[in-house]
Amino acid sequence: MIVKFPVFVPRGAAAITIWPFVFTNLDNPPRDLVEHEKVHLRQQVKFLFIGFALLYFGSKKWRYKFELEAYKVSVKYGLSPQVAAEHLSSDLYGNVVTYDQALQDLA
């Protein structure tokens, strides 16, 4: 369920998923974002939420792995690979990889 509730959305992000909700600061989130967050919903179910939270916030490597999976879906739904690579290589996800590496990982 998608809920417009900007208070929960981290600075620099457009949405955050906390199963079973997707919180966003946008009136009409684009399809690529919705599909991205649906990936996080599935990841949270797969790792029984607490496992996801521990891995996501406890390990930059795992955070990158989760985000790469989600951004691959975003690209499938219209986000440009260049924008996805900018996000993946940004502070938001801990600067784990370079832009070029992120672009390569998305391919």
What does the binding site for Zn ion look like in residue numbers (CB under 5 A)?
A: 67, 70
Task: Report the 3 state secondary structure along 40-62.
Answer: HHHHHHHCCCHHHHHHHHHCHHH
Q: Which CB sits closer to Zn ion, 22 or 70? A: 70
The residue sitting closest to Zn ion, measured at its beta carbon, is 70
Nearer to Zn ion, 34 or 70 (CB): 70
Let me know if 36 is exposed, middle or buried by CB neighbors in 10 A (0-12, 13-18, 19+): buried
Q: Give me the least distance between CB of 93 and Zn ion, in Å please.
A: 8
CB-nearer residue toward Zn ion: 68 or 103? 68
Are 100 and 78 contacting, i.e. CB atoms less than 8 angstroms apart?
A: no
Give the nearest distance from C-beta 48 to Zn ion in angstroms.
Answer: 18
Shortest approach of Zn ion to residue 105 CB, angstroms? 14
Distance in Å from the first CA to the final CA of the chain: 30
